Copies of this chain bind each other. A is one copy, B any other.
Amino acid sequence: MNLWHISEDIFNPQTLHSQETVYTIGNGYFGTRGTFSEGYPGATPATLLYGVFDKIPIGKEELANAPDWTLLKLFVNGERFRLDQGEILAFERSLDIHHGILSRTVRWKSPGGMDLKIVSERFASLADEHVGAIHYSVTSEDNSEDLDVVLWASLNTAVGNYELMHWETVDQGNNGEIIWLHTQTLHSHVQLAQSMSFIADTSAFEQTVFDSDIAPSIRLRGKLAPGATVTTEKIVVMYSSRDGETPVLSAVEHHKHLVHSTDNGYKAAVPEENAQAQKHMSQAYTTLLTQHKQAWLDYWQSSDIIIEGDDKAQIAIRYNIYQLRISASPHDDRYSIAAKGLTGFGYRGHIFHDTEIFMLPYFTYVHPSIARNLVLYRYHLLPGARKKAKQSGYKGAQYPWESTLDGDEATPGTIIHPESGELIPVLNGTIELHITASIAHGAWQYWDISGDDEFMREYGAEILLSTAQFWASRAEHNPKHNDYVIDDVIGPDEWHEHVNNNAFTNYMARWNIQTALDILDWLYETAPNKATELTQQLDVNKQDLDHWRDVVALMRIPQNKATGLIEQFDGFFNLEPLNQKLYEGRTASYQALLGMQQVQKHQIVKQADVLMLLTVLDDQFDLATKKVNWDYYYPITDHDYGSSLTPALHAILACELGQVATAYKQYILGALVDLENLRGNTPEGIHDACSGAVWQATILGFAGLRLTRDGYTTSPSWPDGWTRLAFTFMHKGQTIKVDLHKE
């Protein structure tokens, strides 16, 4: 068993769409779903580029599925190879996450009786993020005569986000060896250039270039003798107007450089004008592949986690770490990691609080330079967040619940129920507030762990102060109890709407204001001019700061002083308990079973809420408090059909409380959520937040890593079988390697 390979040796059409997601390749600049190059009925090919959006009717905008660069059709003696035709004699597909390569080997008997072996591999270069490449070979097996082989490589504009098209062709051309396509999104007018070359390893295959607005193509055609193999290579370069003003020029120049062409200039050419211009560029593919593999090996050098004694967990944790990398860009701070990364159409490429709570810690601990980009993205949203706060009647910055390229709220006001077609109002954009504190926390934690003071001075402090301003204006003074309340919100447990004083929200808001006060002190100490400038710019005066202190001192936190039990929100304990035994064997969430109205009346929790608070602000609660709350909330959470965000997060707390078996059970639910399509929605994309939570569960849970003033501590919990747990992280610029062995 190779502990770096996600593999299958049977092609099952039933799992077509979830496996398309699982076999996604990417590099943070683009992600490409694992569809077959030859096409398949009902397939969902998608290439999503980091931050490339187009408008949609409901929900602002979505990542716009780019023209498909993978299309490569094979005809042999006039018969088309596709997996729904003929007979599959052998099939093997494997994603090598060590090197970021997706490969497939098929032995196939055509409907007409020819035997072929087709071997392909593809990658999205991690070394050169504009480049995707496919290696494709065809062998004539057990055939007695020469075969007429035709291979068509195309860039295909006839794709959409499901059925919604986003691109139109602006222009198209070729220079004989490279064909290019210039498209733009229909509404946002993002320009995209894709250039393509396609060659065979033998000049016996004739190359012809076909211009087209719809699917510009290069064709290779030749004879294949019995037992012989033809090998082809398709290289694609992509640039968008997010990269610069001349994407077509950039793509073609870059492409020419790759294939060592000495041509200059390119032009539209009639088909076949350069039919004889075939080049042998296989050196280009080999070089690209070598650099790409090295880049992945470099990544794993700092990112790998070794789990000995549990192969399933070993592969799964690596797969989750692979996913985190291909969803984030090391070079772009204008966008962040979407709920589904670049792997599918779910949540339309929008960014939620998931990024800060679940994914950011991985980057903060392991790849601080990427973490910095993710936090700077939120800094860039501040103007929009200020506008949102103002529109809601508050001060400071209120972050949108869903965001895209700016700080404008991207949560749809209403969605269409996928089955009933009913319109359902969505309140999250209006009253789910806690994301604002989560973003402040993420920025603070990035600074705390990285020690990146320049960041805190120039950007972080402004995030913290602006969010504190929001909370201090949002909290209302209640004269009867002389405390501050935050009414009418949705907490992390979204099954309860319009609640007052959600503990997570209030506690995080208080933390946010207090931390802003602390950071302001730090700023006055370390950069007094900046402190003065910032408070003036944000219009924060002494009275404001006194008010902030008042809010911190008097914020209502619904907690039983004697037992430490926290009430999720005002009145939660008065709701009806739910007899979960009545629902044994269910295959849907409690919300689906009870209905949106009924579920609100019960003590049943969609996802960690109080327990998430105890995890995120781990150092603010003692073990006894954690225990009493765990005992209350863990049993009343919908672990199976609630949120995918929960299981791995629960594992951290379970480890702290010594419940390793429970921790492991929850951990595996998170680690395999997509590899085994446990929630049935993997076709819509990878659960990236779950990947981040799985990393946290491994390091903060099982390894028990905690940072201190003096360095770090670990306190490992060992699930059955685990004998070694090794990983690397960074603290204040220092690389730290941890290698734990079970005694």
- A binding-site residues for B, Cβ under 8 Å: 39, 41-42, 57-58, 73, 75, 77-80, 148, 150, 152, 154, 156-158, 160, 163-166, 168, 170, 186, 210-215, 219, 267-271, 273, 413-414, 416, 421, 423
User: Complex formed: what's the CA distance from A148 to B270 in Å?
Assistant: 9
Q: Which residues of B contact A214 (CB under 8 A)?
A: 154, 156, 158, 214-215
**Which A-B residue pairs are the 7 nearest by beta carbons?**
A158-B158, A78-B270, A163-B165, A214-B215, A158-B214, A160-B165, A75-B270
- A57 and B210 CA atoms in complex are apart in Å by 37
Checking B57, B78, B152, B267 against A268 with a beta-carbon cut-off of 8 angstroms, the contacting residue is: B78
> Which residues does chain B contribute within 8 Å of A211, judged by CB atoms?
75, 80
- CB <8 Å contact, A150 and B270: yes
Please give the distance in Å from A436's CB to the nearest CB on chain B. Answer: 24
CA distance A653 to B75 in the complex (A): 68
CB–CB A80/B271 < 8 A: no
Contact A163 B150 (CB under 8 A): no
Taking the nearest CB of chain B, how far is it from the CB of A123, in angstroms?
25
Offer 18 A-B interface pairs, CB within 8 angstroms, sorted by A. Answer: A41-B168, A41-B170, A57-B421, A75-B271, A78-B268, A78-B269, A78-B273, A80-B211, A80-B268, A148-B270, A150-B270, A154-B214, A160-B163, A163-B165, A163-B166, A210-B210, A413-B423, A414-B423
Question: Which chain B positions have C-beta within 8 A of A39?
Answer: 213
Chain B residues with CB under 8 Å of A416's CB are 57-58
In the bound complex, what is the Cα–Cα distance between A148 and B273 (angstroms)?
Answer: 10
- Min C-beta distance of A143 to chain B, whole Å: 16
Contact B157 A79 (CB under 8 A): no
A80 neighbours in B (Cβ, 8 Å): 211, 268
Docked complex Cα distance between A424 and B423 (Å): 11
Q: Which residue of B lies closest to A184 (CB)?
A: B41
Q: Which of B150, B160, B166, B215 contacts A215 (CB 8 A)?
A: B215
- Report the minimal beta-carbon distance from A59 to chain B, rounded to whole angstroms: 9
Majority secondary structure of chain A interface residues (helix, strand, loop or mixed): loop
- Would you give the shortest CB distance from A330 to chain B, in whole angstroms? 32
Chain B: CB-nearest residue to A423: B414
Q: Which residues of B contact A156 (CB under 8 A)?
A: 214
Q: How far is the CA of A271 from the CA of B210 in the complex (A)?
A: 12
Name A158's contact: one of B77, B157, B273 (CB within 8 Å): B157
A414 / chain B contacts, CB cutoff of 8 Å = 414, 423
A271-B157 contact, Cβ under 8 Å, with A163-B166, A163-B186, A413-B423 = no
* Residues in chain B near residue A79, CB distance under 8 A: 268
Instruction: Identify the closest chain B residue to A210 (Cβ).
Output: B210
The distance in angstroms between the C-alpha atoms of A280 and B559, with both chains bound, is: 89
Q: What's the nearest-Cβ distance from chain B to residue A51, in Å?
A: 20
Shortest CB distance A590–B (Å): 27
How many angstroms between the C-alpha atoms of A212 and B215 in the bound complex? Answer: 9
The residues of B that contact A73 with a CB separation of less than 8 Å are 213
Minimum CB distance partner of A166 in chain B:
B163
Q: What is the chain B residue whose CB lies nearest that of A82? A: B213
Please give me the residue from chain B that is nearest to A80 by CB atom: B268
Bound state CA distance, A415 and B410, in angstroms?
Answer: 19
Contact of A165 among B164, B170, B268, B423 (CB under 8 A): B164
What residues of chain B lie closer than 8 Å to A148, measured between beta carbons? 270
Instruction: Kindly list 14 other residue pairs between chains A and B, CB separation below 8 angstroms, not including A58-B421, A214-B214, A423-B423.
Output: A42-B168, A57-B416, A57-B421, A75-B271, A78-B269, A148-B270, A150-B271, A158-B158, A158-B214, A160-B163, A163-B164, A163-B165, A163-B166, A414-B414
Across the interface, A77 reaches (CB within 8 A) one of B58, B212, B219, B270, namely B270
Of all chain B residues, the one with the shortest Cβ separation from A271 is B150
Q: Which B residues are CB-close (under 8 A) to A75?
A: 211, 270-271
Q: Which residues of B contact A152 (CB under 8 A)?
A: 212
In whole Å, how far is A548's beta carbon from the nearest beta carbon of chain B? Answer: 36
From residue A637, how far is it (CB to closest CB) to chain B in Å? 33
- Tell me the complex Cα distance, A77–B270, Å: 7
Residue of B nearest to A42 (CB): B168
- Which of A156, A163, A170 has the most chain B CB atoms closer than 10 A to its own CB? A163
- The interface residues of chain B lying within 8 Å CB-to-CB of A165 are 158, 160, 163-165
A416 to B413 alpha-carbon distance, docked (Å): 11
Residues of B near A163 (CB, < 8 A) are 160, 164-166, 186
Q: Given the complex of chains A and B, what is the CA–CA distance between A213 and B45 in angstroms?
A: 14
Task: Find chain B residues with CB under 8 A from A168 CB.
Answer: 41-42
Q: Could you say which residues of chain B place their CB within 8 Å of the CB of A268? A: 78-80
Which residues of B have CB within 8 Å of A423? 413-414, 423
Contacts of A58 in B (CB 8 A): 416, 421
A186 to chain B, nearest CB (A): 6
- Scoring A158, A166, A186 by chain B CB atoms within 10 A of each residue's CB, the highest score goes to A158
Task: Tell me, in angstroms, the Cα distance from A158 to B164 when the chains sit together.
Answer: 11
CB A530 to nearest CB in B, in angstroms, measures 40
